[in-house]
Chain A
Amino acid sequence: MQQSLPNRDVLDRALRTSWIVAVALAAALAPARPWDAAAILAGQLIAFLHFIFLRKIVKLFTEKRGAGALEVADRSGFAALPFLITAKVLVVYGGMFALLASRRFGYAPLCVGFALPFLTLFLKSIMLAFGAGPASLMRRAKGGIGSVGRAALLVAMLAAISSSAPGRAVAQEHAAGTHAAAEHAKESGAAELPNWLVILHDFNPGNPVISWLEKNQVIVFAWIAGLLFLFVSWLAMRNPKMVPGPFQNAVEWMVESMESVAGDLLGEKHIQRHFPIIGALFFYILTINMLGIIPGMKSATSSLDLTLALALITFLYVQFWGIRNLGILGYIDHLAGQPRDVTGWIMLPVMLPVHVLGELAKPVSLSCRLFGNIFGEDTLIVVFVGATALLLKAGLSLLAVPPMAGITALFMMLQTLTSIVQALIFSLLATVYLYMMLPHEEHGHEESHAEAQATH
């Protein structure tokens, strides 16, 4: 149970960093747009409260976990729970609603402020995963002067940017004033770089086949990725050898790593049966995501249709195995929260919709996350390419191109990372959902031992 302490530490540090960033942003914005600065701080405060309440609620449930890992073992501290949840809903959701309804705060700065803690938490967890362990985090936490210095540097940089911003905005407005630039802006309103199908369509506007393909480009690119995936697999395995060549070795290494990650979660018995779909999901999504990095291609996962379809497949697969393992009656019993006593039966009308809603939230959250991340990355790159184009039109090529190209390249590297992480997260969460549905007593020695203890 070493993990709980570093986790809390990471959350603390992430929240502190997000406060520093939020204050710096607000300070940089304050002279020009005081309301936006206030909105960033307000959003940050709401998100901060959200995390504080969430930690309190979670702590109530996980403080004494000795016996059943998944079962709620003790109910001593639960009296505070309704109060905490009500307070959280009132303060966090009510506060957010009030801020949005007051109309004085801008929508975008509020969202920026609200997203900052999430972003820093995400980045900190990635740092942790890359081996910046708790020890090094602690050591750096002691060097308070260093962090203050860094914060000061950040404030200075932001102030410099904000002071140059009006000039740049004027330049952009000037550029947008011309007719051609306005047209360009309208085109980039689609928030996508043109892929080869769009270009082909522009050159052959009348061709029915091309216009059909252009209309269904998500499917086309999903098929391209699928075929690429099949082709690589076939190429690697058409002539398998006991002592593999470099290519076969690489592919085998990828598959085996994924199998070991998913196998740790599911257990050796289940992984044999379920790895085909988990592995296929991972490598298919990875191929689709990576395809978007090639210029002229598009990630089909930047469309909600495809991610929803993938999540639906996962959802049906998980529910199918749930029914198959538990039987129809057992499955309904599982959904109803396994009523065994009077309280259970009284709570049935409440617990049944709660379980069903929880099951439904899983595929939607899977698809929204994948879509949001990939679409966000694509849009980010488009924004920077568009900004570069606008600055070029304004005749600021020397000022615009080198830093913009650097930033875009940086984001493309980030996109590579996001592609891998999102594919991994999607397939791992599918594995987790499957794991929640499968019978647990066969999983490991520890759990069955704990359950045996609980029944005594």
Chain B
Amino acid sequence: MNGKTPKKLTGWRQIGLLSSIPFILALAPIIGFVIGQFLDKHFRTRPWLSIALLVLGFVAGVRETIKIVKLSQQED
């Protein structure tokens, strides 16, 4: 609010941001795979949609990670 973050709070913010990386990295492919399984069952395309969404999940995880790291290094 007053324009300057106290040093301790910057540390907390970075902990919060950086500690979410492992979760995002692990969960994005899993969510992709689960959605893929569901869609495969619907469209009878087993196992292609699961594999495609699994790979896309990896990409999404890495992308979110990069976003988070950038945000954590930003100083305002």
Asked if residues B12 and A4 are in contact (CB atoms below 8 Å), the reply is: no
Contact partners of B9 in chain A: CB under 8 A: 261, 264
Interface centre among B56, B57, B59, B61 (most CB of A within 10 A): B56
Asked if residues A260 and B2 are in contact (CB atoms below 8 Å), the reply is: yes
Q: Give CA–CA (A392, B5) in the complex, Å.
A: 51
Q: Give CA–CA (A265, B17) in the complex, Å.
A: 12
Partner pick for B15 among A89, A265, A425, CB 8 A cutoff? A425
Asked if residues B75 and A3 are in contact (CB atoms below 8 Å), the reply is: yes
Instruction: Judge if B65 is at the interface, Cβ distance under 8 Å.
Output: yes
Asked if residues B12 and A259 are in contact (CB atoms below 8 Å), the reply is: no
Contact partners of A7 in chain B: CB under 8 A: 14, 73
Give the segment of A29-37, A338-346, A358-366 that binds chain B.
A358-366
Q: Give CA–CA (A368, B19) in the complex, Å.
A: 12
Contact partners of B21 in chain A: CB under 8 A: 54
Q: Give CA–CA (A425, B14) in the complex, Å.
A: 10
Instruction: Judge if B63 is at the interface, Cβ distance under 8 Å.
Output: yes
Partner pick for B1 among A264, A357, A366, A432, CB 8 A cutoff? A264
B11-66 residues with Cβ-Cβ distance < 8 A to A are 11-24, 27-28, 31-32, 35, 53, 56-66
> Given A4-B73, A357-B53, A424-B12, 20 more contacts at CB 8 Å?
A3-B14, A3-B75, A7-B14, A7-B73, A57-B65, A58-B66, A58-B69, A62-B73, A118-B22, A128-B11, A261-B5, A264-B13, A357-B31, A358-B24, A358-B60, A360-B28, A361-B28, A361-B31, A435-B71, A436-B67
Q: Chain A: residues with CB nearer than 8 A to chain B?
A: 1, 3-4, 7, 54, 57-58, 61-62, 65, 69-70, 85, 89, 118, 122, 125-126, 128-131, 133, 259-261, 263-265, 268, 271, 350, 353-355, 357-358, 360-362, 364-366, 368-369, 421, 424-425, 428-429, 432, 435-436, 443-444, 446
Q: Chain B: residues with CB nearer than 8 A to chain A?
A: 1-2, 5, 7-24, 27-28, 31-32, 35, 53, 56-76
